[in-house]
Amino acid sequence: MAGTIGELGEFALIARVTARFPHSDNVILGPGDDAAIVGAPDGRVVATTDALVEGRHFRHEWSSGGDVGHKAAAQNLADIAAMGARPTALLLALAAPPELRVTWVDEFAAGFGDECAAAGVGVAGGDVSASETLTIVVTAMGDLAGRSAVRREGARPGDAVAVAGNLGLSAAGLELLQAGLGEPRACLDEHRRPRPPYEQGPEAAARGATAMLDVSDGLVQDLGHICRASGVAVDLDPAALAPGPALRAAADALAAAGRPRDPVTFLLAGGEDHALAATFPPDTALPAQWTRVGRVEAGSGVTVGGSRVSATGWDHYRRVR
């Protein structure tokens, strides 16, 4: 039995991986031809793509193949939800060193397939290639079901700002891993396997959300994108940003390890929880899973209780300089 993907070979690898992926009615023609055919019931296709690079987005000593597969699917599906759409299909490209273990790829495919199945989406196809650095690229497609897409440019002064999903846990989990700590598990689990609130994207769109996005780079930084696109300001309510027990426990553990952190910073500047942030007209009854955290105002930029904050969020290039 082959121990590495180099020993297994390209076509056997493709067959092994795709066998673990779910299909859906939207995938009219799946893996096997030069291209897939995906249904577009609305007549429009919402599309997004993301890359995960070993050493940059994940490390083998911190995450299993299943964890990486889960995250690869989740971060793309969250972007589809953030437009108010439901996912229809995903494409996957895997570029890996020949010495990568087949068992890791099996775990990856299982995690990727499980998350797709949980979101009710099929895998239409993809590609494999050799590379010195393990790199995963996913393209996701979605359907708007006749509604307008919820973009970043629709927020207006007076709108409520709300979030759905977890904030800060993934960033805290990353800090814990960097410090060699194994608790609290809630933060580590969220970093390895984020849980985006997929259904809340279409729900927010149906409730009249005026702007929305996926919180992948930190709440302040991502709300700043809405501010710039909409020509508005956002003021966050400090009382609505109280850290929960897991974040407080993470801050305590990090402080004991000589790495003091303000848990509020995880809420404001953390990323990769893939929560959703949206603005709603002021008289809108928010869906049950959404929490009001602030207000849209005239002006520019994001403040907390009227004050500017230094939280910057994630930037791929700033962090490597």
Question: Residues marked as binding for substrate?
Answer: 57, 272, 314
What percentage of the chain's residues is helix, strand, coil (to nearest 5)? 35, 25, 40
How many whole angstroms separate alpha carbon 130 and alpha carbon 5?
A: 10
Give the CA distances from residue 157 to residues 197, 204, 227, 308, in Å, rounded to whole numbers and listed in that order: 26, 18, 10, 18
How many whole angstroms separate alpha carbon 72 and alpha carbon 121?
A: 14
Give the CA distances from residue 53 to residues 27, 39, 136, 207, in Å, rounded to whole numbers and listed in that order: 27, 30, 6, 37
Q: Which residues participate in the annotated binding site?
A: 34, 48-50, 57, 79, 126-127, 152, 214, 216-217, 272, 314
Q: Which residues participate in the annotated binding site for Mg(2+)?
A: 34, 48-50, 79, 127, 214, 217
Distant-in-sequence, close-in-space partners of 30: CB < 8 Å, separation ≥ 6:
18, 23, 36, 122, 123, 124, 125
Nearest CA to 293 out of 242, 251, 250 is that of 242
How many whole angstroms separate alpha carbon 153 and alpha carbon 149?
A: 11
Question: In sequence order, what E strands does the chain have?
Answer: 27-29, 37-38, 46-53, 86-96, 122-130, 135-143, 160-164, 211-215, 233-236, 275-280, 291-297, 301-304, 307-308
Q: Which residues participate in the annotated binding site for ATP?
A: 126-127, 152, 216
